[in-house]
Structure 1
C-alpha cells in the first residue's frame, strides 16, 4: 500500500498469527468504491444510498475516508429482490420525469414541490445556472398513491396555498437542507462532529452569534462539513451551491442557532476545546549582584583604616 514499507525479517509463529488477524480485519472492511460495485450501483446511486441511510458506512482508519463493513454488503445482498429493490429505492428523477410518474402537469408538480409537499433529495446547477432538483421516485409514487393527496393532484389548490405561492414561497432549498442535515448527523462521529454538522448550514456571522467563545468556534470549524462541489471555487455554480447550503429564513436560522448552542454545550462537557497553555512565571535566573563592600566614610570603613594604620 502507498506510504507503507515492507520490513524483511524472520517469520515466526507470532508474526503469522498477527498477519492473519490483520488480513482478516482488512477483509472485514472494503472501500466505498468497491462496495458500490459489489452492490451493482453507480457511484451517484451509492452516494445517495449512503445519504439516505440505505447503506451504513464507518470512518476509515487514519483519515482514509469512509468504508463499508463486509457484513453490511452481505446484509444488503441477502435482501429480497436484490439488486433491483435497492436500485429502485435510490432512483432519483427530475421535474419532468417526476410529473409523468405522478401523472400531473409539470407546473402542478413544481407547485407541490415549492409548497414543501415534495422534498428534493439532490440538486445540481445546470449550464444555464438554474437549479435542477431531484426527487426520490419511490416517494413520489407513495405520494400519488395516497388518496388523501388526490385533491392536490387534480383539483384547484386551496386559496391559502395559492396565496403563499403568489408571495414567492419556495421550500425546496430549506427542505433539502433539513434532509442533508439528517445525513450529516447520522454520519457524525462524536458530539463536536454533530455540532459541526449544524454549523455547516449557517454563515460565520450566525455561528459567532450562537457560539461566542472563539476557542469553541475554532474547534467547530474543524468539524464543519466541507461544502458540496459544483463548479470550480468562486464560480457562479459554486456560489449558487453555497447559497443553497446556507440557511436563509429567519426562523430556520434561529432554530439552527438554538441547536448549535445546545450541541456545542454538550460537546464542551464531553471534551472542552483546546486552549493556549497559561504561562506561569518561572524562576528568576538573573545574576544576583555581588554585595558591595563597605563604603568609604562609613563606620566599618573607618575602623578598617585605623587597624591598618596601627599594625
Structure 2
C-alpha cells in the first residue's frame, strides 16, 4: 500500500455545497432535487442547515446515465421554451399558467423587476402527452376560462406557494417545524392574531424556514417577492389558519414553548440585635420625648494675641441636634465690663522716593537751557 493513500474515513454527511461539487452539478440544481424529493437530506446535529448523507451521493452516482438523467429531471424552462415544448404560442402558454393548468416550480426577478416563472420540463412533457389536455393546447378557449382571464385571474403565485409549502413540510420533523412551515406563508398580522402569546410566537418564528428574499429588506424587489410569498386569497388564508391552529395544538401538547423562569433572590437575614423571638411579633416602639437641651456655656472673651503667639485653631462646631428635637435659642450673654483690648499694630505710611523730584529738576534744567 502506498504511503500517500488516504485511509481516513469520510464523515457520514456533508454540506449541500460539497455534495454538489462531488456530484458535478450546480448548487441550484441540487437544491431543486432536494425540494422535489429526489435527494434525501438529514438535519444537522449542530443546529445548522440540512446535510446530505454520503450514502445518498453514492446512490446517485451508481444510477445509470448519471448525471444526464439527474439533470434532465431538474431542468427548468421559461415561458418561451415551455411554449415550444407544448407546441403552442407563448401567449397561450401564459393563459394556461394563469389558469393554474401548469404549476411553476421557481421564480426570479430580472433587471426590470419583472417576475420570471420557471417550470419543470419533465412535467411539461407529461402534460403534452396527456390526451385529456389536447383541447387546451389547440382550438378556442372555453367561455368560462376566458371569463376568468378577463377578471384578472392569476393562479401562478398561489400555485407556487402551495408547491413550496409541500417542499417545506417534507423537511419538517417536529410539530413546531410543521407549524413554522405553515406560518411562513402568512402575514405577521395573521400570526399575531392566531398566536397572541409572545413566547410562543417567538418560538414559532425561530422554527420558520427562510423564504426567497432577493435584495435588501424594504427594497422594491424585496417587497415584490414578499407579495408573492405571502398568502392573499381569502380561501387560502382560511385554509392556512385552520392547519396552523391544528399544528399549534399538537405542538403545545408535545413540547410547550420555553418560557423564562423567575428565580427569587435570597431573603435578607435580620440582625441578631433586632431579631424577634419566633413566638412573639415585633411591636413598634413608642416614640420617646426629646430631651431638653443643656444650658449654654458662659461666653468668655478671647485673650489678646501677640506677635509671637501661634495662629489659633478653629473651634469645633457642636454636633447638630436631631431633626425631631425642638430648637431653643440661648439667652443673650452680657459682655464683660473690663475686657482687655487686643494690641494694635502702628499704621505704616507709604515711603516716598526721590524719583519724582529728580524728574522735576531735569525738566527745570532743560527749560533753562532752551531759554
Indicate the TM-score class for this superposition, using the shorter chain for normalisation.
Answer: 0.7 to 0.9
Distance 1:284 1:244 in 2: 59
Distance, in Å, in 2 between the alignment partners of 1:292 and 1:154 is 101
Structure with higher Rg: it is 2
Asked if residue 205 in structure 1 is aligned to residue 192 in structure 2, the reply is no
Q: Pick from 183, 197, 200: which aligns with 2:167?
A: 183
**For residue 267 of structure 1, what is the aligned residue in structure 2?**
251
- RMSD (CA atoms): 2.3
SS in 1 for 2:169: helix
Aligned to 1:195, which of 147, 156, 179? Answer: 179
Contact 2:213 2:226 in 1 (8 A): no
- What's the TM-score, normalizing by structure 2? 0.69
User: Does residue 235 of structure 1 match 2:222?
Assistant: no
Mapped partners of 2:270, 2:64: distance in 1: 81
- Count of residue pairs the alignment pairs up: 274
Closer, same or farther: CA 292–190 of 1 in aligned 2, 3 Å: closer
Question: What is the distance in 2 between the residues matched to 1:166 and 1:29?
Answer: 52
Question: Tell me, what secondary structure is at the counterpart of 2:162?
Answer: helix
2:74 to 84, 90, 95: 90
Residue of structure 2 equivalent to 1:141: 125
1:21-75: CA deviation from partner (whole Å, max 9, x where unpaired): xx64x53212211211222311111111111111111122323432111111121
Between the aligned partners of 2:56 and 2:182, the Cα distance in structure 1 is: 28
Q: Is this contact kept in 2: 1:121–1:134, CA < 8 A? A: yes
Any unmatched runs of 5+ in structure 2? 1-6, 277-281, 287-371
The two structures have a TM-score, normalised by structure 1, of 0.82
In the superposition, relative to structure 1, how do residues 157 and 283 fare at CA in structure 2: closer, same or farther (>3 Å)?
Answer: same
The residue matched to 1:247 in structure 2 has which SS? Answer: coil
Matches within 5 A, 1:206-225: 206-225=190-209
Query: What residue in structure 2 maps to residue 59 of structure 1?
Result: 43
Distance 2:250 2:230 in 1: 23
The unaligned stretches of length 5 or more in structure 1 are 1-19, 296-311
Change (3 A) 1:285 1:84: same
Return the structure number with greater helix share.
1
Q: Which has the higher contact order (CA 8 A, sep 6+)?
A: 1
Are residues 1:107 and 2:91 paired? yes
CA contact (8 A) 2:108 2:117 kept: yes
Report how far residue 132 of structure 1 moved: 0.3
Residues 82/277 of structure 1: CA separation in 2 closer, same or farther (3 Å cut): same
SS in 2 for 1:123: strand
Identify which of 108, 112, 133 aligns with 1:124.
108
Structure 1 residues 177, 282: CA separation in 2 closer, same or farther (over 3 Å shift)? same
In structure 2, the residue matched to 1:173 is 157
